[in-house]
Amino acid sequence: MTDSQDYTPPKVWTWNKASGGRFANINRPIAGPTHDKDLPVGSHPLQLYSLATPNGQKVTILLEELLAQGHAGAEYDAWLIRIGDGEQFGSGFVAVNPNSKIPALLDRSGPVPIRVFESGAILLYLAEKFGAFLPTEPAARAECFSWLFWQMGSAPYLGGGFGHFYAYAPTKIEYAIDRFAMEVKRQLDVLDRRLAESEYLAGSDYTIADMAVWPWYGGLVKGLLYEGGEFLSVQDYKNVQRWTDAIATRPAVQRGRMVNRVFGEPSSQLHERHDASDFETKTQDKLAPAS
């Protein structure tokens, strides 16, 4: 790879597999499946294919919140998709999400299965289906949509921009880190100002907008993303801290974070979830106790 100072883009970009950095094994400039593989299907109406990254956690948090509210139709099987191993490029997964990214949902409750991809679309689909965590009053509903889509547009600057160049890129490029640190701090300030005037993002009620933003920006202000907490002085965002702590106390959030998780304490990892009792009996400390 050429040093960034000396690089002049060629007339036509070509794929140099050797220079892909940390994600070289999964990054590629073409879509579509790389191999044939059907997805497993369990017994519940909802089939989730995911991994407990922030984008994955949003959906499992909502599903656990729906179940906690008594929506039995929200019972789900959560299957693990190991994106580092390229499982998002299997033919079955691509049929559910042509964009080859987790999370992806198949709703099998009706006569014809319905696929939903993109975490924001999944949150809205489920919130509408069950009439929950989405305000019905027009102003609050609009506010909820606004913060939900704010997250969808903003998080790529946090993950793909700041996180990538601060933590993952093969070289530390000051220009890129500066640019994205500035933007992420601006985003944190946007959130902090909103949460100074409102308990939750859409108003006084906890909604899918909070569920979308919390795994990303709540994780960031607790120093859980990219080890960037000190660098970004996250302790300064007092209202985001208050909101993050409040949401973290919710039992459904604590359960949702564990589903499809393959990192952290073994007791916090529930690789697959097929039943509410799995949280008690199927975490990794119980399935694979340290010898």
Q: Provide the binding-site residues for ligand GSH, judged by CB under 6 A.
A: 26, 53, 55, 83, 88, 100-103, 118-120
Q: How far apart are CA 284 and CA 261, in angstroms?
A: 10
Give the bridge partners for 77, in sequence order: 47
Q: How far apart are CB 84 and ligand GSH at their closest, in Å?
A: 9
Tokens 């997805």 locate to 39
Comparison of 12 and 30: residue with beta carbon closer to ligand GSH: 30
Comparison of 52 and 134: residue with beta carbon closer to ligand GSH: 52
Q: How many CA atoms lie within 13 A of 262 on its CB side?
A: 14
Contact 257, 56 (CB under 8 A): no
Comparison of 88 and 207: residue with beta carbon closer to ligand GSH: 88
Comparison of 117 and 237: residue with beta carbon closer to ligand GSH: 117
Give the relative orientation of helices 138-156 and 174-197 as an angle to the nearest 10 degrees.
Answer: 160
Contact 71, 63 (CB under 8 A): no
Q: How far apart are CB 282 and ligand GSH at their closest, in Å?
A: 23
Q: How far apart are CB 118 and ligand GSH at their closest, in Å?
A: 5
CA-to-CA dists, residue 199 to 139, 233, 249, 258, 288, angstroms: 16, 22, 15, 25, 41
Comparison of 170 and 251: residue with beta carbon closer to ligand GSH: 170
Q: How far apart are CA 289 and CA 291, in angstroms?
A: 6
Q: How far apart are CB 183 and ligand GSH at their closest, in Å?
A: 17
Q: How far apart are CB 179 and ligand GSH at their closest, in Å?
A: 20
Comparison of 26 and 176: residue with beta carbon closer to ligand GSH: 26
Q: How far apart are CB 274 and ligand GSH at their closest, in Å?
A: 22
Comparison of 102 and 259: residue with beta carbon closer to ligand GSH: 102
Q: How far apart are CB 54 and ligand GSH at their closest, in Å?
A: 6
Q: How far apart are CB 62 and ligand GSH at their closest, in Å?
A: 13
Tokens 């506010």 locate to 143
Comparison of 28 and 179: residue with beta carbon closer to ligand GSH: 28
